[in-house]
């Protein structure tokens, strides 16, 4: 019984240590939609036997070479490379790197922000696929600061806006709608930034 209790306490200590390490290290990475991004691990390459990447509490398959068919693979010792970025890639990632004969992993936390630019003609509808599962708010830059267009639980702030199937649509685009739009998560971190301009 005493031995079992010691093992339980040891397991709890390891889990607690992992949580505190994640909280102390956060790396911000930006990438352009359609291009690539690297999550740098900056960890010594000695005896690495397993790399685990997690997002939204789900493990993401990570290939060991660039030749695999997946979009996510390791480069160098344990840097994680993500190909062909989409808006849905934005958000928080946790990387656990495990060494041979060492129970305690090295942990890194990342926040990936996606940038994009688009144009639209006056009078047309602009559809932005930015209402991610982890999105909490959409704002547009204005002369007075940032104006809220959409918030989770409350929806759109104007009858010119439509929220449908993960898309935010600006109906009958005008010159006044040009500018920078950003999507934030519940912690106020920027997930997506989109610059929109008007074409004739």
pLDDT averaged over every residue in the chain: 85
Q: How far apart are CA 93 and CA 51, in angstroms?
A: 13
Interval 125-184: pLDDT, tens? 999 999 999 999 999 998 889 999 999 999 999 999 999 999 999 999 999 999 999 999
User: 169 with 127: CB under 8 angstroms?
Assistant: yes
Paired with 25 in beta bridges are none
Give the confidence band of 46 by pLDDT, cuts at 50, 70, 90: low
Domain identity same for 105 and 24: yes
Q: pLDDT-based confidence at 102, cuts 50/70/90?
A: confident
| Gap between the Cα atoms of 170 and 163, Å rounded | 9
Domain end call among 65, 91, 112 = 112
Per-residue confidence (pLDDT) for residue 25, from 0 to 100: 61
Whole-prediction pTM = 0.83
Give the end of a domain, one of 66, 88, 112: 112
Considering the domain boundaries, does residue 7 fall inside one?
no
48 and 131 in a single domain? The answer is: no
pLDDT for residue 18: 35
H or E element, residue 11 = helix 2-24
pLDDT at 24 over 60: no
**Average pLDDT of span 105-114:** 94
Domain count, the chain: 2
Residue 32 structural domain: 17-112
Residues 152 and 90 in one domain: no
Long-range contacts of 46-49 (CB under 8 A, 24+ apart): 46/99, 47/99, 47/100, 47/101, 47/102, 48/77, 48/78, 48/97, 48/98, 48/99, 48/100, 49/98, 49/99, 49/100
* 52 found inside a domain: yes
Query: Could you say which DSSP state residue 105 is in?
Result: P
Asked if pLDDT for residue 4 goes beyond 60, the answer is no
Q: Give the residue-averaged pLDDT of 79-95.
A: 96
pLDDT number for residue 8: 36
Whole-angstrom CA distances from 90 to 29, 114, 137, 147, 188 are: 10, 6, 14, 21, 13
CA distances from 113 to 57, 82, 177, 183 (A): 18, 13, 22, 10
pLDDT of residue 140: 97
**58 sits in which H/E element:** strand 58-60
Supply the CATH number for residue 177's domain: 2.60.40.10
The answer to the question of residue 3 being in a domain is no
Is 194 within the bounds of a domain? yes
Percent of the chain with pLDDT over 70: 84
Q: Are residues 25 and 91 in the same domain?
A: yes
Report if residue 93 sits inside a domain.
Answer: yes
- Confidence band (pLDDT; 50, 70, 90) for 98? confident
Encode pLDDT of 52-71 as tens digits.
Answer: 999 999 999 999 887 888 89
Degrees to nearest 5, angle at CA 139 with 156 and 34? 105
């Amino acid at each position: 019984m005493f031995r079992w209790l010691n093992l339980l306490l040891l397991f709890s200590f390891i889990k607690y240590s992992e949580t505190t390490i994640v909280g102390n290290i956060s790396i911000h990475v930006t990438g352009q939609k359609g291009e690539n991004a690297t999550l740098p691990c900056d960890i010594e390459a000695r005896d690495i036997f397993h790399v685990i990447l997690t997002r939204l509490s789900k493990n993401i398959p990570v290939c060991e070479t660039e030749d695999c068919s997946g979009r996510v693979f390791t480069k160098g010792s344990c840097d994680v490379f993500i190909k062909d970025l989409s808006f849905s890639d934005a958000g928080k990632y946790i990387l656990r790197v495990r060494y041979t004969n060492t129970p305690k992993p090295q942990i890194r936390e990342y926040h990936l922000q996606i940038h994009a630019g688009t144009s639209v003609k006056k009078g047309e509808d602009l559809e932005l696929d930015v209402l991610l599962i982890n999105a909490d708010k959409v704002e547009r830059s204005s002369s007075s600061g940032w104006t809220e267009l959409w918030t989770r639980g409350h929806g759109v702030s104007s009858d010119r806006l439509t929220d449908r199937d993960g898309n935010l649509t600006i109906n009958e685009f005008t010159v006044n709608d040009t500018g920078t739009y950003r999507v934030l998560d519940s912690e106020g971190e920027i997930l997506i930034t989109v610059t929109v301009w008007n074409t004739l």
